[in-house]
Structure 1
């Protein structure tokens, strides 16, 4: 390698490092304080606490990578949409998501090329904690409580949409809604 080539590579690396913080700052994260933390709705409203405190960020193995994107709001939209379909007419539901741990973890000990890869293993199941309240048309509370959703067999289940990065969490939400909204006090139409 010639001295000129080495000098050009050093300059290129310096430029990349100088621009990288600006690019990283421009990327949207789930912890962005400007992002809304609720989805109001006519029949189903979904809110969430500070994603920076969610287990997925605190214990992921790569907090920066885990915070990327809009996955909290995407899960909230999914929950809202699916609950609206199952909720009997005249009822309302309020949900507050207090913790999320997505399926898989980052394993930084695998090296610099693998520290941004979310590894799926049986012992990294998806988990979500939420509080909910279901009220009737008269405003009377029909059901409420805290639930911790977990799918320990997430790797054994068949998934139709392999391209959806939140497929395991969405299936877990569906399972909970099927159980919760099938109870006698919240029986389907």
Structure 2
């Protein structure tokens, strides 16, 4: 047996351990998503389009992006209390299905509570935030596909995180 496969195996195990540790630095939870503005709007205007899959996508995206911003040993706990995605459902003429219309008067909005902790578990920052992007229609997609249905919400999250842990 050669040493190369053993080294490769150890390297893979180490990389897995590091990525697992990094993934554990951020936790995103949803507080009563059934009461979110987005959920209520979809239920009222487009029940056939109700899909909470976007929540898992946003959770995974936020955890990955936030983990890249934290210093070693820091943890970030985020509890999302409301989401109102960009756009709004309006009745469409000649169709039985309502249509989501995305206009500047319907910006994305995410309300959350966060706690940033150091490696000893001490609170570094804590607070409530309402993330909005009033200029969401005028910015370039910034690496997001024009067909990504969550591009506006992801960019809103990115802007908040880009401020860095000290200014969350």
Output the CA distance in 1 between the equivalents of 2:98 and 2:166.
40
Are residues 1:52 and 2:50 paired? no
Return the index of the structure with the highest Cα Rg: 1
Structural mapping, 1:14-163, within 5 Å: 42-60=24-42, 62-65=45-48, 67-108=50-91, 110-111=92-93, 113=95, 115-159=97-141, 160=143, 161-163=145-147
Output the CA distance in 1 between the equivalents of 2:114 and 2:140.
28
Alpha-carbon shift at residue 117 of structure 1 (Å): 2.2
Residue 181 of structure 1 corresponds to 165
Aligned-residue RMSD, C-alpha: 1.9
Gaps in structure 2 of 5+ consecutive residues: 1-22
Output the CA distance in 2 between the equivalents of 1:65 and 1:143.
41
Output the CA distance in 2 between the equivalents of 1:127 and 1:90.
30
Q: Is the 8 A contact 1:103 1:168 kept in 2?
A: yes
C-alpha change, 1:151 and 1:65, in structure 2 (3 Å) is: farther
Q: Number of residue pairs matched?
A: 143
**TM-score with structure 1 setting the length:** 0.70
Q: Is the 8 A contact 1:57 1:63 kept in 2?
A: no
Task: Please state whether the residue corresponding to 2:163 is helix, strand or coil.
Answer: helix
